[in-house]
Structure 1
Amino acid sequence: MIKLYDTGVFLLNKKEIICDDKNATAIIKNKTGMAVSKEEARKGTIAYSIVNHHDVVSDDTENLKIKFDALTAHDITYVGIIQTARASGMQTFPVPFVMTNCHNSLCAVGGTINEDDHMFALSAAKKYGGIYVPPHLAVIHAYNREVISKCGTMILGSDSHTRYGALGTMGVGEGGGELVKQLLGKTYDIARPKVIGIYLTGKPQKGVGPMDVALTIVGSVYKNGYVKNKVMEFIGDGIHNLSVEYRNGIDVMTTETTCWSSIWQTDEKVKEYYSIHGRAEDYSKLEAQDVAYYDGLVYVDLSKIKPTIAMPFHPSNIYTIEELKANPIEIMNHVQKEGSKQFDNPDIKLDLVSKIKDGQVYADQGIVAGCAGGIYDNIVDIADIIDGKSIGNSTFKMSVYPASQPAYVEMVKNGTIEKLMNAGVIVRSAFCGPCFGAGDTPANQELSIRHTTRNFPNREGSKPTEGQLSYVALMDARSIAATAINKGKLTAATEIDANYTKPKYFFNKSIYDKRVFNGFGKAEPDTELKFGPNIKDWPTIPSLTNDLLLKVVSYITDPVTTTDELIPSGETSSYRSNPMRLAEFTLSRKDPAYVNKAKEVQRYEIERESGKDPSTISEEIKKAYDKIRTIKGFENIDPKNIGIGSTIFANKPGDGSAREQAASCQRVLGGWANIAREYATKRYRSNLINWGMIPFIIKEEPPFKKDDYIFIPDLRNAIFEGKAEIKAYVVSDEITEFTVSVDDLTEDEKHIIAAGCLINYYKMKQ
C-alpha cells in the first residue's frame, strides 16, 4: 500500500525509480547515454525550478531569499499582520494580499469585535490595495484555489493549511511575521528544502476518498519525520486517475505531515480546472525532467488504500475502519490509555469504550467542512450516498459546510443541497469553525467523525479544565455519509452500494465580482483605517540584554505540544486583535497557572526597565541573584543590567497551526525563550524568532524543573557569534552548569532577536 524508501532515488522519464546506491550512476548512464550527477538531477524536480524562480539572490544556491507572488490571511491573523507592518513602515501592499473572513465569522461572540475586525480589513484593503472577501462567501483556501492560484507561482499564507500544490502553486503556511516581511518588500529566508517524491500509482477503490489517502500518508511519515520541513512532490501515473478536487483534498492534508510545502505534476485535468474558473491562461504543464533526484520517496498504491480513521488525538493516529470494527474494545482502550497522557487533570476521564454497543462503534456527530472537507466533489458524493435516506432523529446529527458560495450555488442548482436537507443534514455557509472549535462543538463525551483537518485535544471546542471533554476522529466524507445513513454506526463507504452521479461543476465568478473588494494596484492612501474598541496596538517589547535570567514557569512533558495547547482556538479567536486580552488565554487548557506565573516574572522586568533593582521586589528573586554571585566571575553582577523573563520547556512544541499568537502571547506576558528538544515545525520556530524569543534546544535531560531560574550570561554576544553551544546555569538550591544551543540563524534573525521583536527591528532601520 505505502512504501518509504530508505535512500534517495533517481526518477527516469517520470516513471522509472532507481535507488541511490553504488550502481545508480552506471544505470543512469546506461539508460540515458550520459552520466548525471546527483547535484544536477536535483534540478530536475518541479519544486527546484519553482523555488529557484522565486529566489532573488542567485549566487547562493543553498540559502534562499524568496519573494512570493501573493499573500493570504484570515480574520484570526490579518489584524496583527497589518498592525505589525504599519508599525514597521509599510505604505502599500506590494503583491496581492487576500484577506478572508472565514474564522471569526460568528459575530455574536464577543459582541461587535469580530465584525469590527472585518471592517478594519476592508478599510485596510482600500488604503493599502488589498483583496477583501466578506464573511461566509468562501473559506480562505477555497477562494485562493478558485481565484489566485496559478501554475508555477508561490503563495504565502498565515494559515498552516496554505496548500495549492495540486494546482501547480507552491503554498507555504507561516506565522504573520513572515507575511509582514513580504509586505515590507523583504525576503523569506530559508535553506534550500529537500524534496521528497510522493509516487502515486493505481486507482482508488469506489468509496475511498481523498482523506483516506491523505491519512494513510500522514500515518506513514509523521512520527518518523520523513518529510519534515521538506517539499512533498506528487508524481506518478496514478495522479491521472484522480479528479483535481480529489487531489486538492489530499494536498491540503500534507500540512499534517509537517512538510514545508507541496507541489504536483499538472495535466489536462488541471488545465480544465483553470478553464472552468475562467483562467485558462494561468495553466502551464509542470512535470519532472527526464532525470530527477528526490531525497526520499513515498510509493503509494492507490488501489490498496482502504477507508481510514484517525483516532483522537492526532491525524497520524490511524487505523483502517475495517481494523477498528474488528477490534473495537482493544483499540478504544489503547486510544484512551495513550490519550489520557495528554491531560494533566485527574478528574478528566476518557470514555471511548462507551461508544461500543453490541460490538459496533457508534459516533454522535458527523461534520464535513472547511478547506479539506467542504469541496464540491466531496459534497456531491455524500449527497448521492444519503439521497432518499435519513440520518435519523436521535443522538446522531450531521452538518455540511460548502467551502465557497459559488460551489454552494452550483449544488443548489444540481439538487445536491436538496438531497442533503431531505435526509436531515444541516447545510451551513462557508466557515472554518468546526476545524478549530468555533462551530458544532460536540456535547461532553461525544464522538464526532469529521472531514476536517485536525483532531488535536480540545480543538473541537471542549474545555478539560472545566470538566468537559469530547473527541474527534477524522474520516473521509463518504464514510461519514455511510455512517450517517446507519444512524451513527461506523460504516466504511466501501461497504455500501452508491451511485456516484458526478455532476459537472460550473463556476459562477459573478458571485465574487459582486461582493469581493479587489483594490490591488489601486491603493487609496488617504483612507482612514476603521478601528474597533478591541483592536489594540502591540505593547512595548524590550530588546535583548547581554545577560538573561529566565524562570521556568511551565514544564510540559507531552511528546508533542500543539499550538492549540499553547494558545487555544475557538471562542478565544475573537480577541486576536487585542494582544493583552488574548494573552490571558495562553496555555489555559494545558497549564492554567501559566499566565499568573508569567506576569509575576514580567513584574520584575518592568521594575528593571524603570531603573530599579529588581532584587528588592521579592525574597525569591533576591535569592536567585545571591546564588548567581556564587558563580566564579559573576560575583559583582548588577541586577539592573540583566533582563528577566519567563520560559517554558516542552519536548516538541509547535505542531499544527501557523498562528503567531502561540508565540506572541508568551512574549507580551514577558516570555523571552522556549527550551525544547526540537521544534515540531519551522513555522513555530520562526514565530518565536519574529517575536524576539530565543528558540533554545537542549540535547540532554533538562537539569532544571518548573519554577527554577536559569542564568545565561553573554547571551547577546553568543547569538551574534553563532555559537554552537551556549553556557547556562540552573539557579536552584545548587548551581548546575549545562549547555543549550540555537540552530542556525540568519543575520536578520539574529538582529530581530537582539532587537526584541520584528517591530523593534524594523523601527530601528527606519
Structure 2
Amino acid sequence: MFDQAKRELIVGKKKFTFFSIKIIEEQRLKKLPFSLRILLENLIRHYDGEVVSEEHIKAILEREKGKEIPFFPERVILQDFTGVPLITDLAVMRDVAKKLGYDPKIINPIKRCDLVIDHSVQVDFHGSDLALELNIQKEFERNRERYIFLKWAQKALKNMRVIPPGAGIIHQVNLEFLADVVRVEKIKGLGNVLYPDTLLGTDSHTTMINALGVLGWGVGGIEAEAVMLGEPYYITVPEVIGVKLSGKPKPEITATDIVLTITQVLRKKGVVDKFVEFFGDGVKNLPTQDRATISNMCPEYGARCALFPPDEKTIEYLVMTARPKEHIKIVQTYLKENLIFQDYSSEPEFDDVVEINLEEIEPSVAGP
C-alpha cells in the first residue's frame, strides 16, 4: 500500500516526486491535526518495513498515544555554544578514520546541518555608532581559535553551513533565511523530491520555526548528533492540544501581550511534552511575526512544539523575506496537494481544545 504513495507533481515546467498522504482516506486525514500529518508523511516517505513499519503508520492514524515511532528530521540547527562539541566529535572521528587507514573525508553529517554563531557576543562597547563594529571585533579576538575551527568545518564537511558572527540570532536567521518550508532534494532514482521541512535544534527555543509551519523542537547534543549522522529520533505518539483562536486583537495589543496570555492559559491547562497546534479564524489575524513570538515561548508553557499550520500568511511571509518566487510556488502547490495547507474549511480532531478570544486580551506585564 505505502509503495503506491509515490506521485508526480508538475510546478511550472518542472516535474517533481512526492509521497502522498492521500493514500489514506481523505476524510480520515482531515481529522488528523497538521502536526500529525507531517509525521505521517515522514513515516510514509521512509517506510521500509523494518525501521519504519506499518505498525508505526497505524499508530499515527489510530492516535495510539505512548506508542514509539521513528521520526526523521530533515535538518539540524546548532548554535555555537552547544554545537561546537558536536563538530569536535566529527573532527575526532576523522582523525580516528585516518589512523585506521580510511579516507577521513567519508566522515560527514548525513543530514543538512546549519550552525549559527550567535552565543559568543558580549557587550564591551555601547553608546556609540561604532559599538556594533567594536563588539564584533572584540568577539573575533576572544574566540579566534573556535572560529578558525568552525571555518575549517564549513570547508571540510559536506552538508555543513556555518553562519558567521553578526548575522543575527539563530532563531531569526532560521525563520528569515534557512527554513525552506518545503524542501527539494535530488535523490537517485527519484529525481527532485518534495517533502516538508522538519528539524531538531540544540536550543530550547528552536520551536520558533513552528510559526512558519515547520515542525521542529529543541533536543540535547547527543540526540542532535545522532540525527546528523542519519539516525531516526524516536518519539511517542503525542497528545495534540488544539488552541482555538477567535477574534482580532485590539490595536494597542502587542504580540507580547498575546503570548503572555497564551502562556498563562496553557500553563494552567498543562501541556508539558504535548504538541500544541493553533487553529480557528483568529489565527488569520496573526501575521507570522506574531506567531513567531508565540511559538518561541513554547518552552515557557512546557509543550514540545507549538505549530501554526502553513496558510496564506506563511506564503506572504516567504514573499516578504525575498524567498525565490519559483520556490514559493513549489511550497504553495505541494502543501495544498498533500493536505498540509490550512484553508480553514474544516477543523481537525484534537485530544483536547483550549479556546482563547484575541479580542479579550488586555495589556500584560510579566513579573516575578
Normalising by structure 2, report the TM-score.
Answer: 0.68
Task: Tell which has more relative contact order, 1 or 2 (C-alpha 8 A, sep 6+).
Answer: 2
For residue 248 of structure 1, report the CA deviation from its aligned partner: 1.3
1:360-399 mapped onto 2 (5 Å cutoff):
none
SS at structure 2 position matched to 1:292: coil
For residue 93 of structure 1, report the CA deviation from its aligned partner: 1.9
Q: What is the distance in 1 between the residues matched to 2:138 and 2:286?
A: 40
1:445-460 mapped onto 2 (5 Å cutoff):
none
Q: Is 1:188 aligned to residue 233 of structure 2?
A: yes
- Out of 155, 160, 169, the position equivalent to 2:199 is 155
Match of 1:174 in 2: 219
Q: Is 1:65 aligned to residue 81 of structure 2?
A: no
Distance 1:97 1:49, change over 3 A: same
Match of 1:125 in 2: 154
Maintained 8 Å contact 1:161/1:252: yes
Q: Is 1:80 aligned to residue 85 of structure 2?
A: yes
Distance 1:198 1:87, change over 3 A: farther
Distance 1:111 1:143, change over 3 A: closer
For residue 160 of structure 1, report the CA deviation from its aligned partner: 0.4
Q: Which amino acid aligns with 2:223?
A: E
Match of 2:364 in 1: 308
Match of 1:424 in 2: none
SS at structure 1 position matched to 2:174: helix
1:139-154 mapped onto 2 (5 Å cutoff):
139-149=169-179, 150-151=181-182, 152-154=196-198
Distance 1:203 1:291, change over 3 A: closer
Gaps of 5+ in 2: 1-27, 47-51, 60-66, 95-105, 123-135, 183-195
Distance 1:257 1:58, change over 3 A: farther
Match of 1:296 in 2: 352
Match of 1:45 in 2: 33
Q: Which amino acid aligns with 1:217?
A: I
Q: What is the distance in 1 between the residues matched to 2:87 and 2:165?
A: 19
Q: What is the distance in 1 between the residues matched to 2:144 and 2:253?
A: 40
1:592-603 mapped onto 2 (5 Å cutoff):
none
- Out of 223, 246, 250, the position equivalent to 2:290 is 246
Match of 1:217 in 2: 262
Q: Is 1:134 aligned to residue 190 of structure 2?
A: no
Q: What is the distance in 1 between the residues matched to 2:291 and 2:347?
A: 24
Match of 1:97 in 2: 113
Q: What is the distance in 1 between the residues matched to 2:294 and 2:215?
A: 14
SS at structure 1 position matched to 2:204: coil
Q: Kindly provide the CA deviation profile for residues 488-511 of structure 1, in whole angstroms up to 9, marking residues without a partner as x.
A: xxxxxxxxxxxxxxxxxxxxxxxx
SS at structure 2 position matched to 1:50: helix
Q: Kindly provide the CA deviation profile for residues 718-755 of structure 1, in whole angstroms up to 9, marking residues without a partner as x.
A: xxxxxxxxxxxxxxxxxxxxxxxxxxxxxxxxxxxxxx
Distance 1:120 1:274, change over 3 A: same
Q: Which amino acid aligns with 2:169?
A: V
Distance 1:134 1:128, change over 3 A: same
For residue 194 of structure 1, report the CA deviation from its aligned partner: 1.2
Match of 1:365 in 2: none
Q: Which amino acid aligns with 1:282?
A: V
Q: Greater helix percent: which structure?
A: 2
Q: Kindly provide the CA deviation profile for residues 221-249 of structure 1, in whole angstroms up to 9, marking residues without a partner as x.
A: 2255x211111111110111122211112
Q: What is the distance in 2 between the residues matched to 1:186 and 1:289?
A: 37
Match of 2:192 in 1: none
Q: What is the distance in 2 between the residues matched to 1:148 and 1:133?
A: 10
Normalising by structure 1, report the TM-score.
Answer: 0.34
For residue 109 of structure 1, report the CA deviation from its aligned partner: 8.1
Maintained 8 Å contact 1:85/1:184: no
For residue 197 of structure 1, report the CA deviation from its aligned partner: 0.5
Maintained 8 Å contact 2:295/2:305: no
Q: What is the distance in 2 between the residues matched to 1:110 and 1:249?
A: 28
- Out of 258, 276, 282, the position equivalent to 2:331 is 282
For residue 58 of structure 1, report the CA deviation from its aligned partner: 3.5
Maintained 8 Å contact 2:121/2:139: no
Distance 1:120 1:267, change over 3 A: same
Q: What is the distance in 2 between the residues matched to 1:75 and 1:246?
A: 27
Q: Which amino acid aligns with 1:50?
A: I
Pairwise CA RMSD of aligned residues? 2.5
Q: Kindly provide the CA deviation profile for residues 459-481 of structure 1, in whole angstroms up to 9, marking residues without a partner as x.
A: xxxxxxxxxxxxxxxxxxxxxxx
Distance 1:167 1:111, change over 3 A: closer
Maintained 8 Å contact 1:75/1:118: no
Q: Which amino acid aligns with 2:157?
A: Y
Q: Which amino acid aligns with 2:294?
A: I
SS at structure 1 position matched to 2:349: strand
For residue 121 of structure 1, report the CA deviation from its aligned partner: 1.7
Maintained 8 Å contact 2:86/2:225: yes
Q: What is the distance in 2 between the residues matched to 1:207 and 1:115?
A: 46
For residue 298 of structure 1, report the CA deviation from its aligned partner: 1.6
For residue 41 of structure 1, report the CA deviation from its aligned partner: 7.2
Q: What is the distance in 2 between the residues matched to 1:222 and 1:117?
A: 39
Q: What is the distance in 1 between the residues matched to 2:259 and 2:143?
A: 33
Q: What is the distance in 2 between the residues matched to 1:231 and 1:210?
A: 21
Distance 1:185 1:43, change over 3 A: farther
Q: What is the distance in 1 between the residues matched to 2:232 and 2:109?
A: 14
Aligned length: 273
Q: Kindly provide the CA deviation profile for residues 490-541 of structure 1, in whole angstroms up to 9, marking residues without a partner as x.
A: xxxxxxxxxxxxxxxxxxxxxxxxxxxxxxxxxxxxxxxxxxxxxxxxxxxx
1:662-701 mapped onto 2 (5 Å cutoff):
none
